[in-house]
Every structure is written in C-alpha cells, then in structure tokens.
Structure 1
C-alpha cells in the first residue's frame, strides 16, 4: 500500500469543526489507489490556566486563585477514518475516534481518563446521507463549532468544593450563551444540498436525567421508562465575492423524568443563528430558548424542588478579524438565563443559579498548518437566586494545539 500525505479540512471533532479555524490539516492517508482509503487525524492541546474567583458567598472556599496546566474545551483527539469506493452510486465511510485527557487524575479516575465521542458510519448517495452511530448532535452544533472558545478554554468548571477546575475539559461557552450539542448515539438523515439549503432529522438516545421513579407514592430505583430524543436542523449556506454566509435553525424534544418526579415533563428547545464572513471580518450570533434543559443542556438546574421544568434562554455574539489568513483576533459576549417564579424554588447551590454570562477576548495564531498558539481572557459572572452568593471569575489561558 502506498503512504500518501493529503491536505484536507480534516476535523478535530468530527465533520466541520475546523471550518472555524480556516487552516488546513495534514492527514496521513494509506491506500487510495483502488478506491479504499484509511486515514488518521487528531490533536494534542495544552494550556496554562490561571483563574481569580471572587464570591459574595460566606464560604471562604469560593474566594480564591487557581492555576492549572490542562487541556481546553477540546480534549485530545485521535481519529481513524475509512473511506470505500463508490459502488452502485453509494459511498460508504466510517470514523472512530478516541478522546483522552491530558489532565491530572486521568490515569486513576476512569471518568476522566478517556471519552469515546465518535463511532459512526455514513452512506452517501443522490438521496443525501444516512449516518448511524455516535456523533455530535444536531441541536446547537453550529453554536459551538463557530465559537472562538472551541480552540481555547473559555469558562472553567466549579467543583463541589467551590474552586475552579477544568475536570476533563473546560466549558468554553457552554452554559454561557448556548447549550451543549453533546455526543449522542443516533440514526440521522441529511438531505442533499438544495441550492444552499440542507435539512437533517435524527432519532437519538435520550439524556438519562432520571435515577428513580415514583410508583404508588413509593420511590423505586432503576425502574423507569425512557423515551427517544428527536432533533432536527435546517441550514442555508452561500458564498459570494469576498465572503460567505450561513444561517441555521435547530430544535430538539424529549420527555424527561428527574429524580423523584411523578409522571414526566417535556423538554423542548430551539436555536437560531448565523455567520457572516466578509473579507477578514467574521461575525457570529445565535439565540436559544429551552425548557427542562438546565443552564447548559446537561440538566444543571433543569427542575425545581417541586419537579417542574424550568424555562431558559440565552444568546451570544462574536466579532473577529482574520489577519493574513493566519491570526484570528475575536471578542464575544454570551448569556444564559433560567427563569423562575415565586413558587419555583430549588434547594440551593449550583442548581440554584439564575444567570451565567461571559465576555471573552482571544488571539488564535496559526504558526503552521499543524501548530496553533492561543492567548485568551474570559470574565465570567454568575448570579444565583440567593443573591449573596454571586460569583465573578477572571480566567487567563495561554497554550495551543499541535494537530495532524
């Protein structure tokens, strides 16, 4: 077999993640002469992260400075791709990736050691594409893939002790302007390109927010019904002299049961957004509205103490300029809010938050197609229902990516 070097927009996080980077990767490809190809791609990223947290809380644990050496919003990726020749108008391909963390504890804590985010196959033809397996969801995918913090750190997570820590990865802008798209087991259909328009629908494995079910006023563990999750996306993309534009509308729905809730609550959400590229200017804006998703789309604060789904919404806006095609300087602001009324009380703590907001300024410089350097600053503000426990965090991160 012949070993080839092929220039491609190979992605760090599945199809299209590098679209925002604007730089080509080098993917090692084996084969190709008889129509079969095997290729690998991936990245290792590492950052020095310094955070300064000020809190109105009485707890001294939440007024502190922290320094870390860790990966950012993306873990490391190592992807394996197989492409088969077209037969009877069908092209079959598959991708499996592994996502280990570079962070401390990853070798002793199985939850932080490695994620398996992608394992899917695709069948392409004149009808469009069918995708089977685990990959990035449709809802909110464009929001995260076009966010500048995808190649940075953004927000760090708040541990139970109250300190800032990235865990396996940082949060980026998840919960600070949009909800997480997440990596989901799914069966998806995507239409062919129709003069710039594309639609996709998928049935997915739903979120496991529930740990117990109430039956005849008694709580029983590990006995609950589970419904599928449904997602859909409609997008339009076009290119013109000197630039391009993309618009999207995504949505999701599923039934959820949370902790000891009787019956179920409907979780629904949609997001609408757009990207404009003109010359060196790149602008992104997106808005979302949801119910029963929590502040981040992962269930945090999704329900009240009386088991009612909380409604939320949020937005982010980003403006940047790409100098010489290699240096991207950008600033963004985003906000996520959970609504409540006088009856909607929760137990307190992280689940009691009302509003997250974050301002980010960053410089992302492609030294080569395989080396990206990043300097990023974020100011994070969190307001809780208990107003005396509001938090402010400043996060400075310096690091970058080595990709192939």
Structure 2
C-alpha cells in the first residue's frame, strides 16, 4: 500500500520454539525415528501456523499520524526466551516517532503467539503420546541398531529387552561299519542297519529372552532360554534329550535349559544364581565347531533333541546345572569364576553285563554341593588373538550302590538286619558296593584349553583328566561296581580356515578314554570313543548358514569288541 497508508504482511513461516527444540533433542538421543520426528514436527508447525494466522486477522490498522524508521519497523522482536519472532506485519506511517499503540499491539501479539505455541506443543505432545500408546506416564519404546548374531534389542525406558535364538535342521544318513556292541560306547556300528533322519544337530532350536537394566549402580539381568527340538520327544532319564520316538501323533520336547539372574558390575564382578551352562567343560563345547552341525549322531534311527557332536569323543558334557557362582572383573586379561552347583548322581551309563550285574555304581545322596572354578587369560600378540583357560571340578559321592541280580542259589545278607534270607527266584536289587557299610568317593577333574586366531585361521586345543568323573556325561560310569573310582581323560584338536568371508572349512579329531578301576575286569566296558569330523560352512546371509559334514565314530572296549560308523549330514542353521 502507498506511503501514508498502512499495510500488513503476514508471515507463514513458523520459527523455532521450545517444543521443536525438544523434538530435536529426542531425535538426537535416538528416542524418535526420522519418520516420527517429521510427523510430530509437521503436526506442531501446523498448529503454530493456524494460531499465528488467526491472531493476525484480528490486528487493527494503526492511524497514519506518525511513522517508524525503516530499521525499527523491520527489527525482529524477542520472546521471553530470547528467541526471534517475526512481526506479524509491518506498517509505514508518517513522522519520526514510534506509535505507542503499535508497540503495545506488537507486544500483545508476541505474547499471544507464545501462548499459542505453548498450547500447541502441549496438545501435540499429548496427541503423540496417545497415538503411540505412551499414556499413563510410560516411556518411549525404541529398537537399538541391529547387530547380526546379537539378537533384537528394544529399550523400554531403563530396561533393555533382548530376543535372540537359532533354528536348525539336517538330513543325516548314518551307515554302521559293523562290530560288536561296546558297553558305554557312542558309535552305532553294531546296529547293522543304515538309517536316515531329519533331525537337529548338536544344538536344538533356541529362543533366549534377556532383560537387563542398571539400578543403584548394579547391573541386573534375567535370562530365560527355551530349547525345543524338531523330533518327537520320549520320556527317559535324559528327559527331552532322551532318544526320540518316531511314531505318529508324537510331539517335540522343550528343554528349558536356562533360567538365571545376574547382579554386579565391571568394578566388583558379577554373581549368578539359577540354571545355566556348567563352568567345567563350558569352553570346550562352546568352541566345538560341531556346535553348528551334527558330529557323532548318538542315535540316528530315533533322534532326540540333539546329536552328540563331540560330546564323549573329546570332552565330557558341561551340562546345564543349577548354580550360585561369582565371576571376577577382568584384570589385565585375567578373569576368575567360582561356583557351587547342584550335586549330580553317579550314573550307570554302560548298563549291565549278560548276568544282569551293573558295570558301574550309582549314588543318590549328597550332603555337599559340587564345586567348580575356572581361570581365563585373553591376550594379543601382533595379529594373534589368544585365550587360555583352566578349570576344575570336585564333588563327594555318598552311599554308593550297585545293581545285582541274585538267584535262588545265592544267600543274601540283609544290610539292615543280621538275619539272612534266601531268594526264591531271580531278582535285581541295589546293594551297597561294600556290604554292611556306606561307601563314598570324591570325584575330581581338571581341564586346560586354548583358542588361537590369526587372520583367517583358527586353532582349538583341549585336554581333560578326571578321577570318578566318568565319560560322555558328568559322572557317567565314573565309579566301578566295586566302589573304586575310574580314571578318565580325553582331548580334541580343531583347525578352521576362512577362505572367504562366507566360506570356511573345519577339521577336528577327538578322543575320550575310560580306564578300569583297581581290581576290576570288565572286558565289554568302553575303553575309548573317538571321531574324526570334516565340515564346510557357507554363510549365505547374516542369519543363514549352510552346512555339509562327514563324521566317522569308533568305540573300543577293554576286550576285543569294537564298533564304528560313518555319517553324512547336510542342512542349515539360522541364527539371529
């Protein structure tokens, strides 16, 4: 409009305010995604624009009796927060003075704009809370950046929720090479029949939930791990890990292996209570390449939740055991772990001879817990990364008994009475290994291992020795029927080479030996289980790995008996 009149130029642009700065901060902290940020900001700016437009329409023209200097007319005004506010309009009037009415109107407009912005911020934030379900004072839930193999992590306020797991399946063809059955052997050579199976490998499937947070300077975590198989389950001594039942209308079993909590920090170390992998033998199985494949089948005609991998042919299974343990902070590469664990029974894994007499003693009484401990040392020398570990196990086994078959020609003294009695027919009874007194032993074991990585190559070497430890599983055949401890030892070596980032080959060899106790003569009892394994792994995606494997397993008795088998497996394992 011409000079001497009045003109208003309304501005559509919305300037920065407290709410938009809040959105910037939330986006920078990762609490808002890019899409959420843009949506909330656009919604807010729309409210600001509508409020400014409504206020501008109520402005009145000021009489053209005085004029403002061009500089004063265009000078930006400031809110109480010190932020620039574009005048809703500008006016040209005659004279050299400032119109008080105009100044008052501008101040009133600035206050109205600030009030409208605050109201808009509040209404927009409440609308955003309602739209994404954050009413009632709840916090934003957001997802951390995904790292392959680390699972999915969600942050709900101060709590991290992590979901991880794996699923695998293999076709395995097992061909027995013949021989005679070996008591306590892991080979299927004496079965006489080839077998095909669609099965899990050494790992079943797994879904692990971990909740973690920090309270009063203490890092807390709760972990629950469910491990279902794909084959039918069958009731037995090993529960879900008993050999399967390939019969119609069967169902898979769930092995709820992990249920534990941890509390501690990097300065003072961490305590754990609950059910988790044992300390002794834990590194041996976690570094075993057959963890991602099949290895020795154990049973292929009726597969259970898992195969054996290298269990019993290089190491004794660490198992998942209730425990209270403490892990120290890492100091110059060293870390220690000590724990008390649920004591386990001595178990007669090898069974009985032709006369029905057990090869091994058993126990079910425990007045003290199992004790396990470990020390690890991690270091680097140039391009070489290395870990060395050593651990021990000890447990007292009480009230050992043995299964004996008696006939009517044998007189049996009652152990709790002085009066003898005669059996009218054959029967099997559990009797003390030393008649007339309770007998116990202390099982002991130690291990040492190393894992070396240099460029694309990796080497694992492991050795264990025990007295009363047994073979294959903890305290399996660890004590002879005469109540004396058997010695056992074993080892495995493994080489892995990554030819590319996606393709690698693995070769391994392992042995587990079980020696007879003093005064024992059981020629059918297993003396050695051994296997050779070769496998190829191809990483098709961050999640999916293809696996092809060959394994040869042999079991030898203390006498002339021997059996062996060959198996070929192909399948895939998905880890997320």
Measured against the shorter chain, the TM-score band is 0.7 to 0.9
Query: Counterparts of 2:483 and 2:207 in 1: how far apart (Å)?
Result: 41
The alignment status of 1:78 with 2:207, answered yes or no, reads yes
Aligned partner of 1:265 in structure 2 is 441
The alignment status of 1:7 with 2:149, answered yes or no, reads no
Greater helix share, structure number: 2
Q: 1:166 to 1:300 in 2, by over 3 A?
A: farther
Q: 1:82 to 1:336 in 2, by over 3 A?
A: same
Aligned partner of 1:301 in structure 2 is 477
Aligned partner of 1:287 in structure 2 is 463
SS class of match (1:301) = coil
Query: Counterparts of 2:332 and 2:363 in 1: how far apart (Å)?
Result: 49
Gaps of 5+ in 1: 9-23, 212-220
Aligned partner of 2:123 in structure 1 is none
Query: Counterparts of 2:397 and 2:499 in 1: how far apart (Å)?
Result: 46
Aligned partner of 2:130 in structure 1 is none
Aligned partner of 1:100 in structure 2 is 228
User: Would the aligned equivalents of 2:346 and 2:476 in 1 still touch at CA under 8 Å?
Assistant: no
Aligned partner of 2:153 in structure 1 is 29
The alignment status of 1:235 with 2:376, answered yes or no, reads yes
Deviations 1:309-343 (A, max 9, x none): 21000111111101333322110101010112672
Selected match of 2:258 from 118, 127, 142: 118
Task: Give the alignment of 1:72-221 within 5 angstroms.
Answer: 72-84=201-213, 86-105=214-233, 111-112=239-240, 113-125=253-265, 126-158=267-299, 165-209=302-346
SS class of match (1:103) = strand
User: Would the aligned equivalents of 2:471 and 2:513 in 1 still touch at CA under 8 Å?
Assistant: yes
Deviation at 1:243, TM superposition (A): 3.4
Q: 1:202 to 1:105 in 2, by over 3 A?
A: closer
User: Would the aligned equivalents of 1:6 and 1:27 in 2 still touch at CA under 8 Å?
Assistant: no
Selected match of 2:198 from 50, 69, 82: 69
Structural RMSD (CA):
2.6
User: Would the aligned equivalents of 2:345 and 2:475 in 1 still touch at CA under 8 Å?
Assistant: no
Query: Counterparts of 2:523 and 2:302 in 1: how far apart (Å)?
Result: 23
Q: 1:303 to 1:342 in 2, by over 3 A?
A: closer
Q: Which runs of 4+ in 1 moved over 4 A?
A: 58-61, 106-110
Deviation at 1:142, TM superposition (A): 0.9
Deviation at 1:394, TM superposition (A): 0.6
Query: Counterparts of 1:244 and 1:146 in 2: how far apart (Å)?
Result: 14
Deviation at 1:259, TM superposition (A): 3.5
Q: 1:241 to 1:272 in 2, by over 3 A?
A: same
Query: Counterparts of 1:192 and 1:321 in 2: how far apart (Å)?
Result: 32
The alignment status of 1:249 with 2:353, answered yes or no, reads no
Deviations 1:150-180 (A, max 9, x none): 111111115xxxx765422101101101111
User: Would the aligned equivalents of 1:210 and 1:256 in 2 still touch at CA under 8 Å?
Assistant: no
Query: Counterparts of 2:553 and 2:238 in 1: how far apart (Å)?
Result: 29
SS class of match (2:283) = helix
User: Would the aligned equivalents of 1:301 and 1:353 in 2 still touch at CA under 8 Å?
Assistant: no
Deviations 1:331-374 (A, max 9, x none): 010101011267213494xxx10100111101122211111111
Deviation at 1:38, TM superposition (A): 1.3
Gaps of 5+ in 2: 1-139, 183-188, 241-252, 349-361, 403-432
The alignment status of 1:402 with 2:574, answered yes or no, reads yes
Q: 1:285 to 1:222 in 2, by over 3 A?
A: closer
Q: 1:166 to 1:385 in 2, by over 3 A?
A: farther
SS class of match (2:516) = coil
Query: Counterparts of 2:367 and 2:195 in 1: how far apart (Å)?
Result: 40
Selected match of 1:369 from 512, 532, 542: 542
Stretch of structure 1 that moved more, 298-307 or 66-75 = 298-307
Q: 1:175 to 1:356 in 2, by over 3 A?
A: same
More contact order relative to length (CA 8 Å, sep ≥ 6): 1
